[in-house]
Amino acid sequence: MRRPAPISLADIRHPGPAATDRSPGMTCRADPISLELDGGAPLIEALGSFADQKGCGSAVLDLGGLALAPFDYVMPDRAIDDRHAAWYSDTRTSGGAVLDEAVAILGWKDGQWFAHIHACWHEGGTGHLGHLLPQTLATAEAARITGYGIKGAKFEAAEDPETEFTLFRVRPDDLRASTRPHNALITTLAPFADLHDSVTALAAALAEPDFEVFGLGSLAGAAFRETSPMTGLISEILVRSGAGKTGDTPLRLPIRGVDLEGTLHQGIVRPGTAPTLVTCELLIRGTAVSD
- Domain containing 59 — which CATH number? 3.30.1330.80
45 lies in which domain range? 9-13+23-286
Q: pLDDT digit of tens for each residue in the chain (291 aa)?
A: 899 999 999 999 999 999 999 999 999 999 999 999 999 999 999 999 999 999 999 999 999 999 999 999 999 999 999 999 999 999 999 999 999 999 999 999 999 999 999 999 999 999 999 999 999 999 999 999 999 999 999 999 999 999 999 999 999 999 899 999 999 999 999 999 999 999 999 999 998 899 999 999 999 999 999 999 999 999 999 999 999 999 999 999 999 999 999 999 999 999 999 999 999 999 999 997 544
Asked if residue 1 is part of any domain, the answer here is: no
72 close to 78: Cβ distance less than 8 angstroms = no
User: Residue 124 phi/psi, 5° resolution?
Assistant: 60, 30
For residues 76-98, one letter each, b for 16 or more C-beta atoms within 10 angstroms of the residue's C-beta and e for the rest, the string is bebbeeeebbbbebeeeebeebe
Asked if residue 153 is part of any domain, the answer here is: yes
Asked if residue 256 is part of any domain, the answer here is: yes
Asked if residue 3 is part of any domain, the answer here is: no
217 close to 129: Cβ distance less than 8 angstroms = no
pTM above 0.85, yes or no: yes
Quote the number of domains for the chain: 1
187 close to 269: Cβ distance less than 8 angstroms = no
130 close to 88: Cβ distance less than 8 angstroms = no
Asked if residue 165 is part of any domain, the answer here is: yes
pLDDT at position 289, please? 57
From CA 62, how far away is CA 70, in angstroms rounded?
19
Beta bridge partners of 101: 120
Q: By CB neighbour count within 10 A (0-12 exposed, 13-18 middle, 19+ buried), where does 291 fall?
A: exposed
From CA 233, how far away is CA 4, in angstroms rounded?
12
Asked if residue 38 is part of any domain, the answer here is: yes
Asked if residue 154 is part of any domain, the answer here is: yes
230 close to 265: Cβ distance less than 8 angstroms = yes
Asked if residue 263 is part of any domain, the answer here is: yes
